[in-house]
Amino acid sequence: MQKTLKKYFVVFTVPTLIAFCLAFVVPFVMGLYLSFCKFTTVTNAEFVGLKNYFRAFEEPDFLNATWFTVRFAVIAIISINVLSFVMALLLTRKIKGTNLFRTVFFMPNLIGGIILGYIWQSMINAILVNYGTTLVANAKFGYIGLIVLMNWQMIGYMMIIYIAGLQNVPTDLIEAAHIDGATARQTLFRVKIPMVMPSISICLFLTLSNCFKLFDQNLALTAGAPSKKTAMMALDIYNTFYGRSGFEGVGQAKAVMFFIVVATIALTQLRFTRSKEVEQ
Amino acid sequence: MKKKVISALLSIAMVATLLAGCGSKEAATEEAATEEAAPAEEAAPAEEAAPAEESAEAGEGQVYYLNFKPEVDEVWQSLAAKYTEETGVPVKVVTAASGTYEQTLKSEIANANAPTLFQINGPVGYQNWKDYCLDLKDTDLYSWLLDPSLVITGEDGGVYGIPYVVEGYGIIYNNAIMEKYAAMDGALVKSADEITNFDTLKSVVEDMQAKAADLGIEGVFASTSLTPGEDWRWQTHLANLPVYYEYKDKGISDTDALEFTYSDNYKNIFDLYINNSCTEPGLLGSKSVDDSMAEFALGKAAMVQNGNWGWGQISGVEGNTVAEGDVKFMPIYTGAAGEENQGLCTGTENFFCINSQASEADQKASIAFVEWIFSSDAGKDAVTNELGFIAPFNTFEDDEKPTDPLAQEVLRYMADSSKTSVAWNFTSFPSQQFKDDFGAALLEYAAGSIAWDDVKAVVVERWAAEKAATAEAE
Amino acid sequence: MKTRKAVNHVVFVLLCILIVLFLTPIFFIILNSFKGKLFISDNPFALPTAETFAGLSNYINGVEKTNFFAAFGWSLFITVFSVIAIILLTSMTAYYITRVKSKFTSLIYYMFAFSMIVPFQMVMFTMSKLANTLHLNNPWGMVILYVGFGSGLSVFMFSGFVKSIPIEIEEAAMIDGCTPLQTYFGVVMPILKPTAITVAILNAMWIWNDYLLPYLVIGVSTNYKTIPVVVQYLVGSYGAKDMGAMMALLVLAIIPIVIFYLACQKYIIEGVVAGAVKG
């Protein structure tokens, strides 16, 4: 069968491969190369070695953005996962209206980042106006705002995954624990949580990569204001590329470093998940 | 159920195709045109088809203007429509979002359908865009200039940017409110004309603020709009004054290291603006230029810093309470020595450039479009009366100069030999990035998050860094 | 058991409070979209009064300024055709590289998997340049780009599923004289349907909401602007934020998503869970 199928290579794979090369392979290789070049358009590149990488750190922007991203990601990941797990526990108690709750909680996840950003921008400004200040007046507001926004968007999503995980916990296991006299707390920590470990690592991974790659929400909510103090890595790279002249190479170098960070996180997570799965 | 979903998807797809059919009419007619051309070529003798094609190509020149000023977007749109109607040449006008002109230009110019007509803000802008600027020495537009020395010239002596407007800015005030104040008991001045330095301005403003309720205003100054992208009145225009005086003291026209020696003067006027306003300092981060012009137009504030281009925004506000005859300019006083003779800040930062990488037909079409604007009656009328431009070309007769009150005021100050106009030195500011950083620092200062010394440090530091960075980028 | 019931009552009330909190932002924009633009910042949480009520003027204003319905049409066009193309093309590719085992196919597989961990910013600049050089700055070009970008996750998910299909069915079909194409469309494709729905939903959500790719490739000068692009364009443009039009536009942008969601809720939720677990 392989042999007959093999002849159909063109029909089965070439259209996808062409699109894939156009959208990804070629730009990726070019991007990698250009990070070592000085250029304004792709055609006038001039090799400059590692200079762009050094220039990326000459100004504090990139490091600040990285630090902000980390601070944001840590809090957002913890809060999203804890809250969504708690909500999943509540929604697996067979309460009436469970479906309605699930539907509403999940909905924000479908709304695009730009739209979400502006909804929350006007909401937060409407609250802050009572205190005589605005969202862009202080980086603290932008920071908290982003965390609240991300929670609003992602809690429903993570909750759904946790619910699916919790529903897969065999009921006889829980009943057995009950019969053995386990308290609710013991059942939770000794039975439920270990059993939903796969869901937990999936959710951690999803929140982690979403938080690190966040762009639209960041752009719409504060666009980095004030003084780029709330700009995350993706936004900083975008600003370096398109906000300034003569910094295209630096932007590309930052993008390569950003890629390395994101890829490292993803691969670590993958390895971690795999090893956990084997244990079970 | 699944079948239902799929059929639903299919019908969505069909609707989409229909919609697409509507949206892409242009493309469709183009296609139709080529289709028609093709059989014609086969049937008709070759000679006939060839010239037809040629003329089609020559007439194919298109204009795509990337407009810089959002507030005059509508005027440009209607000018474009009028020109297309008259000549059949398609003109597209796109307006970049406030504060993102460079950014938009950068992503747009890389496109297949790049702007053919764009603008730069002076020598610094020229450095960024010189690869895209066409030499305009042989155009009529250049020959019409009243003062050819204003143009942007390249190292080779070519003319790469042509200024198309002279503008002035200062503090716009509502004379009706000033007269009301002057008539009150204990008024510090009898008329706004008596204000000729910062000390007088400050005492008058503070006195007016104390009597705001009696004057029927919410604050003396309209909001100091500090929303990112809406802060150019402060990080560029107001910042021009300290830079102007520093350059003047040093006898220079540009510098790699600004000392910001007139920092305190800037602080003087900025503090006055934010502390005697109809908006609390902490809320300024949510205000736009439009907001503050509306506040002035509605009589909520007596003064607002802006240029003569702001007239359209004042007169266009619904429920406008300001009479045309009451809108006046006064210079921006900061407490610098000898400012009694200071005039308005007049100059230009708007230079037209033609995209040198566009097709020749498009270049010609773009030049023709610009020349039409500044020479035809319809074009001149719009320039003078709708855009309110004081155009620096000899194609404008005296009775074709703008009649709006602010332009009149600018012309009055320019004609007054006892006043020295302040030159627009902000064209030498290192980059948009510098301005944005400065604006952001001002926002934080207004919100009370940082001290004035921090703002000063930002200005000095960012100026040097950005000058170095742009030098390195070249 | 009694305590459990009591606890459930408390939980129910708690969830009701949460749901109100969750919906507040939505109510907030709907409420303000009916107020005059100058009144919104005055008292944002108040209901519209006779003085502040603006009727539909914000909606008319917002739609006119942005040509919203055209944007809706283009968003729909790009999303629908991209998703159809992704499903068709990537499932075929996934099938091929799973069934034909060679160094080359496994290289392709790893490249697709690799593309999943590369953030968009890495290729943003070069890709948009390339797209413009090749004149892909139109809706059909966008479809091609989305196939390219979406192929990583989609191929990955499809091939995971193809692996679990017993090869015997296909072999039987082939012995009956079916060509690989007939086998694929007649036998494999129907089995792939659940995965196809998952892939379709994940991609549709992404493409419909995507901002940066259409903004960079299509730009703001054409008539092909999508909904996220016009929202960003309206809000950041015209020298002023017209708060009223902005609120109206946000409401309009949400409506299609809500309708779509309520109509195919079950598939969306299942698809998202399946996508998360496999991805």
What percentage of chain A carries pLDDT values higher than 90? 49
B69-73, B421-425, B428-432: least confidently modelled range? B69-73
Q: What is the pLDDT of residue C241?
A: 64
Nearest CA in chain B to C74: B20
pLDDT at B217 over 90: yes
Q: What confidence tier does B48 reach under pLDDT thresholds 50, 70, 90?
A: very low
Q: What is the pLDDT of residue B76?
A: 92
Which helix H or strand E contains B304, and what residues bound it? strand B301-307
What percentage of chain B carries pLDDT values higher than 90? 49
On whether any CB of chain C is under 8 Å from the CB of B107, the answer is yes
Residues spanned by the domain of A8: 2-34
Cα(C23)–Cα(C15) distance, integer angstroms: 12
Joined tokens for residue C192: 């792939």
Residue type, B196: T
* Chain B residue numbers touching C221 (CB-CB < 8 A): 64, 66, 92, 94, 108, 111, 113, 115
Interchain contact, B97 vs C197, CB within 8 Å: no
Nearest CA in chain B to C217: B111
- Mean per-residue pLDDT, C39-67: 81
Q: What is the pLDDT of residues A44-94, one digit of tens each?
A: 788 998 999 999 998 888 999 999 999 999 999 999 999 999 999 999 888
Nearest CA in chain A to C185: A12
Q: What is the pLDDT of residue C240?
A: 52
The domain ranges of chain B are: 60-166+348-396, 168-346+412-473
Interchain contact, A137 vs B285, CB within 8 Å: yes
Cα(B104)–Cα(C215) distance, integer angstroms: 10
Q: What is the pLDDT of residue B352?
A: 94
Q: What is the pLDDT of residue B286?
A: 82
Architecture of the domain made up of B168-346+412-473: 3-Layer(aba) Sandwich (3.40)
- Mean per-residue pLDDT, B128-134: 88
- A39 within domain boundaries: no
Residues A203 and A232 in one domain: yes
- A197 within domain boundaries: yes
3-state secondary structure of B458: helix
* Chain B residue numbers touching A250 (CB-CB < 8 A): none
Cα(B124)–Cα(B121) distance, integer angstroms: 7
Interchain contact, B443 vs A138, CB within 8 Å: no
pLDDT at A264 over 80: yes
Q: What is the pLDDT of residue A1?
A: 66
Which helix H or strand E contains C168, and what residues bound it? helix C167-175
B92-101, B131-140, C83-92: least confidently modelled range? B92-101
Cα(A232)–Cα(A224) distance, integer angstroms: 7
Q: Compute CA distances C243 → B285, C40, C240, whole Å.
A: 15, 7, 9
| Between residues B212 and B39, the one the model is more confident about | B212
On whether any CB of chain B is under 8 Å from the CB of A129, the answer is yes
Cα(B92)–Cα(B115) distance, integer angstroms: 9
Joined tokens for residue B274: 């934010």
pLDDT at B26 over 60: no
pLDDT at B235 over 90: yes
Q: What is the pLDDT of residue C273?
A: 82
Q: What is the pLDDT of residue B223?
A: 93
A254-258, B292-296, B383-387: least confidently modelled range? B383-387
Cα(A207)–Cα(A189) distance, integer angstroms: 22
Q: What confidence tier does C2 reach under pLDDT thresholds 50, 70, 90?
A: low
Domains and CATH numbers, chain C: 66-278 (1.10.3720.10)
Which helix H or strand E contains B153, and what residues bound it? strand B152-153
Q: What is the pLDDT of residue B177?
A: 94
3-state secondary structure of B63: strand
Q: What is the pLDDT of residues A9-41, one digit of tens each?
A: 888 999 999 999 999 999 999 999 999 998 877
What percentage of chain C carries pLDDT values higher than 70? 95
Joined tokens for residue B138: 């042989």
Q: What confidence tier does C133 reach under pLDDT thresholds 50, 70, 90?
A: confident
Interchain contact, A8 vs C253, CB within 8 Å: no
Nearest Cα of chain A lies from the Cα of B369 at a distance, in angstroms, of: 28
Is omega for the bond preceding B39 within 30 degrees of 0, making it cis? no
Per DSSP (E only), the strands in chain A are: 37-38, 46-47
Cα(A103)–Cα(A101) distance, integer angstroms: 5
* Chain A residue numbers touching C28 (CB-CB < 8 A): 119, 122-123, 126
Question: Do the beta carbons of residue A46 and residue A248 sit within 8 Å?
Answer: no
Which helix H or strand E contains B85, and what residues bound it? helix B73-87
Nearest Cα of chain A lies from the Cα of B465 at a distance, in angstroms, of: 9
Joined tokens for residue A226: 């004030």
Nearest Cα of chain C lies from the Cα of A182 at a distance, in angstroms, of: 16
pLDDT at B43 over 60: no
Nearest Cα of chain A lies from the Cα of C246 at a distance, in angstroms, of: 9
pLDDT at B137 over 80: yes
Joined tokens for residue C48: 């519209």
Residue partners of B404: CB distance under 8 A and separation at least 6? B308, B311, B315, B324, B385, B388
Of A53, A233, A62, nearest to C121 by C-alpha is A233
Of A228, A182, C217, nearest to B438 by C-alpha is A228
- A41 within domain boundaries: no
Q: What confidence tier does B175 reach under pLDDT thresholds 50, 70, 90?
A: very high
Interchain contact, B98 vs C237, CB within 8 Å: yes
- Mean per-residue pLDDT, A171-190: 85
Question: Do the beta carbons of residue B426 and residue B236 sit within 8 Å?
Answer: yes
Cα(C229)–Cα(C214) distance, integer angstroms: 7
* Chain C residue numbers touching B15 (CB-CB < 8 A): 76
pLDDT at B28 over 50: no
pLDDT at B8 over 60: no
Q: What is the pLDDT of residue A53?
A: 94
Residues A105 and A222 in one domain: yes
Q: Compute CA distances B423 → A236, B167, B253, B347, B396, whole Å.
A: 35, 11, 10, 6, 23
Q: What confidence tier does B38 reach under pLDDT thresholds 50, 70, 90?
A: very low
Q: What is the pLDDT of residue B386?
A: 84
Q: What is the pLDDT of residues B57-75, one digit of tens each?
A: 445 789 999 998 877 888 8
Residues A9 and A92 in one domain: no
- Mean per-residue pLDDT, C132-139: 86
Q: What confidence tier does C76 reach under pLDDT thresholds 50, 70, 90?
A: very high
Question: Do the beta carbons of residue B255 and residue B448 sit within 8 Å?
Answer: no
Residues A171 and A269 in one domain: yes
3-state secondary structure of A19: helix
CATH number of the domain at A69, please: 1.10.3720.10
* Chain A residue numbers touching C210 (CB-CB < 8 A): 112
Interchain contact, A227 vs B432, CB within 8 Å: no
- Mean per-residue pLDDT, A156-160: 93
- Mean per-residue pLDDT, C193-204: 91
Please indicate whether the domains covering B60-166+348-396 and B168-346+412-473 agree at the CATH topology level: yes
Residues A75 and A214 in one domain: yes
- Mean per-residue pLDDT, C238-248: 72
- A126 within domain boundaries: yes
Residues A14 and A103 in one domain: no
Cα(B396)–Cα(B377) distance, integer angstroms: 10
Q: What confidence tier does B32 reach under pLDDT thresholds 50, 70, 90?
A: very low
Of B211, B169, B168, nearest to B186 by C-alpha is B211
- A45 within domain boundaries: no
Residues A96 and A214 in one domain: yes
Q: What is the pLDDT of residue C239?
A: 42
Nearest Cα of chain A lies from the Cα of C172 at a distance, in angstroms, of: 10
Of B161, B121, B158, nearest to B430 by C-alpha is B121
Of B333, B209, B233, B246, nearest to B287 by C-alpha is B233
- Mean per-residue pLDDT, C234-247: 68
Residues A25 and A151 in one domain: no
Q: What is the pLDDT of residue A5?
A: 84
End-to-end CA separation in angstroms for chain B: 63
Asked if the B60-166+348-396 domain carries CATH number 3.40.50.620, the reply is: no
Residue partners of A180: CB distance under 8 A and separation at least 6? none
Which helix H or strand E contains A255, and what residues bound it? helix A248-279
| Between residues B155 and A279, the one the model is more confident about | B155
- A190 within domain boundaries: yes
pLDDT at C3 over 70: yes
Where do we find the tokens 């296609």? B31
Residues A8 and A72 in one domain: no
* Chain C residue numbers touching B319 (CB-CB < 8 A): none
Q: Compute CA distances B443 → A139, B278, B307, C134, C175, whole Å.
A: 11, 17, 21, 43, 75
The separation between CA C267 and the C-alpha centre of its own chain, rounded to angstroms, equals 14
- A40 within domain boundaries: no
Q: What is the pLDDT of residue B14?
A: 40
Interchain contact, A97 vs C167, CB within 8 Å: no
Mutate to test the interface with A, among B274, B444, B458, B463 (most CBs of A within 10 A): B444
Q: Compute CA distances A168 → A92, A172, A174, B392, whole Å.
A: 11, 11, 11, 77
List the subunits that have 3+ CB pairs under 8 angstroms with B. A, C
Select the residue of B102, B443, B473 nearest A226 (Cβ to Cβ): B443
Residues A150 and A72 in one domain: yes
Residues A105 and A225 in one domain: yes
3-state secondary structure of B178: helix
pLDDT at C144 over 90: yes
Where do we find the tokens 């990537």? C90
Q: What is the pLDDT of residue C223?
A: 80
Read off the pTM.
0.82
- Mean per-residue pLDDT, B229-244: 93
Total domain count for chain A? 2
